[in-house]
A and B are shown apart, each in its own frame.
Chain A
Amino acid sequence: MADNDNVSGVEIQLDHVTKRYSGSREPAVKDVTMTIPAGKIVILVGPSGCGKTTTMRMINRLIEPTSGTITIGGEDALRLNADELRRKIGYAIQQAGLFPHFTVAQNIAVVPGLLGWDRKRIEQRVDEMMDLVGLDPAQFRTRYPRQLSGGQQQRVGVARALAADPPVLLMDEPFGAVDPITRGNLQDELLRLQTDLRKTIVFVTHDFDEAVKLGDKIAVLGEASTIMQYDTPEAILANPANDTVAGFVGAGASLKQLTLLRVRDVNYNDDALTAVSEDTSPAQLRSRMTEAGKTYALVLDGRRRPQRWVHVRDLSTAASLAAVGRPVGDLVSTQSTLQDALEAILAEGGNAVVTGTRGEYVGTIDIRTVTDTIQQIREEHETGSAAS
């Protein structure tokens, strides 16, 4: 946890951590042991009141554990001065918790100030952080939190949490209070930041979809923070450990699974009959189609971008390939999720054209590919869990 600008995340270990409040019989958090790998986003997800926030707050000791140990980057967190510990752990909460009497710049500057950075370095850092979260420093530096939208406040909250470049970031339902569109944007942005920053992020939410979207690993927590399943989103979706987890995953686990897979990861077909409209006459294409025994062919333009589907029937009367057939509707890129692909398949009625990075034809994908992929993942995780 050195004060190093290039530091990426560090590992966090919770070892038999229990929190018992005086006066209540059952512990709020009971004997939790888990390892949060360095540089990963780990989501604590569970119903309200399951102790997920308590668990997270014990990592920066806003709540002191009753027993057990917590190590952060190999250091025993319980032996450090709590205030100094917290300065090295980013903390972002629901509704941002910004200081309303401070400007945006002053809010972001708080932790660097506490760490005794000099004024110039703090100023630079504030501008850098505002750029990072997509707020123009010239425009927003001197604004007060109440002059910002909910999404902008949340961005400032993230910037404040990251200002001193802590290796660990704790986020307690940070996007819970913003509208769904803004929430989606903020989630995308967090993922974008994380590819560069590679912090260890502990993220608490009760929204399983958010967990699937953001998490490298998800810990599904039950009562008193007992870990019901701690695994990758794919594994939890494919093979929930028990009925409670399955219930929490909710209906449509397979559909959620589709959001995690990209077209480039699956075996799409590349055997469609194609023809470039400028180089091929309708008669040539027709003979090629009869040869290959295909009733449909895909017409491409000069840069091999998909244009139209033609039926062999259309070709007998056509003078050129430029205008025959049915235009290609929804395209799917290799970057698209399988969910987008499925949408395109349904809209296109059977199969959708897959394009590469420059929009060129690379193949087609049909419903069979999608179902096979889901089937395969299920089998993998089932045999995986049977072996362990």
Chain B
Amino acid sequence: MNLFAYIADRWDRLSLQALLHVSEVVQSTVIAAIAGVLIGVAVYRSPIGSAVATALASTILTIPSFALLGLLIPVFGLGATPTVIALVLYALLPITRNTIVGLAGVDPAVTDAAKGIGMNRLGVLTRVELRLAWPAILAGMRVATQMLMGIAVIAAYAKGPGLGGEVFSGLTRAGSANATNQALAGTLGVVVLALLLEGVYFLIARLTVSRGIRG
């Protein structure tokens, strides 16, 4: 059986796993985005706070994903929970760092004008600063998503959902029938999905970034 016949044959299972894979990555990115932006907003005004937040997030990123999952399993058991936690932790760095950079990069004259004409603190943040930092935040989310697509494969080690299961079982069964096809189908699926999500990000940027600040 060649690869295409294999994919056609197992389409039901593969497409379900693909959906689960995208779903966990997207959900993790969204959770990380909310947390990352909140952290960024909390610290961007203080250089020390910014440095500490970025350093902490970087530290998480240096933990090998295999090890992090291994550490989470005893606490949260197997399945989706440790997977999502690990993915959110990894996504935090790019999003937090880009939020801080984006907010710090807003022209002080613009925030001064916003305050000066009577916007309150929340107004300045939500209507001006975050809107201007949004392209940077979105870029952080995009990097995070791409990274998580790969890391989510490793999460199969914790019996998480997604295409990782295909890759893992294909590799462990190496030599037996369709083992290579299974591993390849999983890997290709991840690549295709990553490209699709890239397209989605492009669309989101088109629709949500003001024409006045689009590069």
Which residues on B sit within 8 Å (CB–CB) of A160?
117
B116 within 8 A of A: yes
Chain A contact residues: over half helix, strand or loop, or mixed?
A: mixed
Q: How large is the interface on B (under 10, 10 to 19, 20 to 34, 35 or more residues)?
A: 20 to 34
Which residues on A sit within 8 Å (CB–CB) of B118?
83-88, 111, 114
Q: Name the residue of chain A whose CB is nearest to the CB of B124.
A: A83
The distance in angstroms between the C-alpha atoms of A161 and B128, with both chains bound, is 17
Q: Residue B116 contacts which of A91, A100, A101, A102 (CB distance < 8 angstroms)? A: A91
Are B117 and A111 interface neighbours, CB within 8 A?
yes
A95 within 8 A of B: yes
- Report the 8 A-B pairs with minimum CB-CB distance, sorted nearest first: A97-B113, A144-B212, A87-B118, A101-B210, A91-B116, A86-B118, A97-B109, A83-B120
- With contacts A84-B118, A101-B132, A110-B119 known, is A91 near B113, CB below 8 A? yes
- With contacts A62-B112, A95-B109 known, is A100 near B213, CB below 8 A? yes
Chain B contact residues: over half helix, strand or loop, or mixed?
A: helix
Are A144 and B119 interface neighbours, CB within 8 A?
no
- With contacts A83-B119, A83-B120, A144-B211 known, is A99 near B112, CB below 8 A? no
A320 within 8 A of B: no
A39 within 8 A of B: no
The distance in angstroms between the C-alpha atoms of A351 and B132, with both chains bound, is 61
Q: How large is the interface on A (under 10, 10 to 19, 20 to 34, 35 or more residues)?
A: 20 to 34
Could you mark each residue 197-215 of chain B with 1 if its beta carbon is under 8 Å from any beta carbon of chain A, else 0? 0000000000000111100
Which residues on A sit within 8 Å (CB–CB) of B30?
none
B115 within 8 A of A: yes
- With contacts A101-B131, A101-B212 known, is A86 near B117, CB below 8 A? yes
Which residues on B sit within 8 Å (CB–CB) of A145?
212
B188 within 8 A of A: no
Which residues on B sit within 8 Å (CB–CB) of A101?
128, 131-132, 210, 212-213
Are A110 and B117 interface neighbours, CB within 8 A?
yes
B104 within 8 A of A: no
